[in-house]
Structure 1
């Protein structure tokens, strides 16, 4: 194509550095959008060397958009990670709280069990002591006739037990835990009771007005077994008490020494 005579021959200038730079930007934009670097035609910039390229002219807007998108993606990923971390921390805190609650419950249950077992042991020990405790056969009384006292009132020639002062109808107690092996009328002993105790010894209670127990019955220390009286060979209301190594007459031992050996103050 021919140009006017006003342009000086040989003075046609090549693309300026700005134009080359613009072409480079456009190539970058084309690479970012299509993956292929295109060839930029020179006539696209024929408007003049002094014209400054714009973002629209160079394609840099595509690069900026790509960078902004990448930043948004990274920001979103960081936000999601923070949310996930918070959720995980919350779940861990809840799990720790449940574990602490379970441990606290376990400790409380263990403490309650230990206290219950201790109370049960204490109760068993108290019961054991109670069953092994001995008491006087008549509360608040005293010995009116001693063991082995002589006289014609006794067929053996001496007293085989001791007598406790007791008005008729006074409560008579088993001196210790045991089993009733005799309960009824016993000749010279009148209404009498014989108890076999847990240590293998026996005690006898004579001249009672009435009986509250029967053969085979289990009794505990201090349990009422009848009321005092003056039945059988008796000169008046009292309780005849014997300690024996066997259930039968003639196996008697010192009743005061027997009671004192079981911590009974007589």
Structure 2
């Protein structure tokens, strides 16, 4: 706000009044000088020149010319001006502090948003990787007995089989060796399979089936979903068997007689054997 001097009784006196007051003051000082000269001639003689300089000083004349009311008016004006300047400086500092705090808040918010976006991107990348891994797992095929080999081939002839030939392949496996599902699928049979002993049949995503026979124990149930490589039982020698091994078949349907070459089937799905 703009400051103005007070009006009314605190107005600066006119030049006439200031001149009159100054003359009166000078007269008073002159009188004092005369009295001082009479009382102390030596001082008057030696200090007369100094006294004359004091009387002629502009500051003294101004002080003598200005009334007390105007001096108080000037002091009030100066104090109000100082208060206004102080208030303006305080407001400027407060505004600067608010601007700094707002800038920091925006910077922190930007960092938080950036971190949140980065974290979300990382989570999305992880979800994509998991989905890709899941899809890959759904399409993955493995050996039914890890590290094993074929001991009896497909369609091998002999009196051991009622059809006159082997409808699957035998994988070498000692008693209670873990047996795994070759691919993801759903268990459609789990129990006694006659000549197959304890057996499991699984339907896979492509509509084909695999069968696991002569098991010593079964670890899944009908309707259960399994993944590629998941353990489903332990090898044995139940049913029409001459010793512990795994009888494995690949089929176009769930029933006996729908068999196809299991080695070609596994190789077709990327299994090295």
**Distance apart, 1:258 and its partner CA:** 1.0
Partner residue in 2 for 1:238: 245
Consecutive unaligned residues of structure 1, counting only runs of 5 or more, are 1-29
CA deviation profile, 1:137-180 (whole Å, cap 9, x unmatched):
11111111111222333333322111111222222111111111
Q: Distance in 1 between the 2:74 and 2:15 partners?
A: 21
Q: TM-score, normalised by structure 1?
A: 0.74
Partner residue in 2 for 1:99: 106
**Distance apart, 1:238 and its partner CA:** 1.8
Q: Distance in 1 between the 2:15 and 2:118 partners?
A: 84
Rate the CA distance shift 1:158–1:72 in 2: closer, same or farther, 3 A: same
Partner residue in 2 for 1:202: 209
Tell me whether 90-99 or 150-159 shows the greater mean CA deviation.
150-159
Q: Distance in 1 between the 2:250 and 2:63 partners?
A: 128
Q: Secondary structure at the match of 1:243?
A: strand
Partner residue in 2 for 1:264: 271
Q: Distance in 1 between the 2:150 and 2:13 partners?
A: 130
Judge conservation of contact 2:217–2:235 (CA < 8 Å) in 1. Answer: yes
- What is the alpha-carbon root mean square deviation over aligned residues? 3.3
Q: Distance in 1 between the 2:266 and 2:68 partners?
A: 116
Residue 222 of structure 1 is aligned with which of 221, 229, 254? 229
Matched, 1:212 2:186: no
**Distance apart, 1:39 and its partner CA:** 8.3
Q: Distance in 1 between the 2:66 and 2:168 partners?
A: 131
Partner residue in 1 for 2:142: 135
Partner residue in 2 for 1:168: 175
Judge conservation of contact 2:182–2:229 (CA < 8 Å) in 1. Answer: yes
**Distance apart, 1:85 and its partner CA:** 0.6
Q: TM-score, normalised by structure 2?
A: 0.72
Judge conservation of contact 1:171–1:226 (CA < 8 Å) in 2. Answer: yes
Q: Distance in 2 between the 1:179 and 1:112 partners?
A: 37
Q: Distance in 2 between the 1:221 and 1:155 partners?
A: 31
Rate the CA distance shift 1:67–1:248 in 2: closer, same or farther, 3 A: same
Matched, 1:113 2:120: yes
Q: Distance in 2 between the 1:129 and 1:37 partners?
A: 105
Judge conservation of contact 1:205–1:239 (CA < 8 Å) in 2. Answer: yes
Matched, 1:178 2:166: no
Q: Distance in 1 between the 2:227 and 2:111 partners?
A: 44
Partner residue in 2 for 1:126: 133
Q: Distance in 1 between the 2:216 and 2:66 partners?
A: 130
Consecutive unaligned residues of structure 2, counting only runs of 5 or more, are 1-6, 31-54
**Distance apart, 1:34 and its partner CA:** 6.0
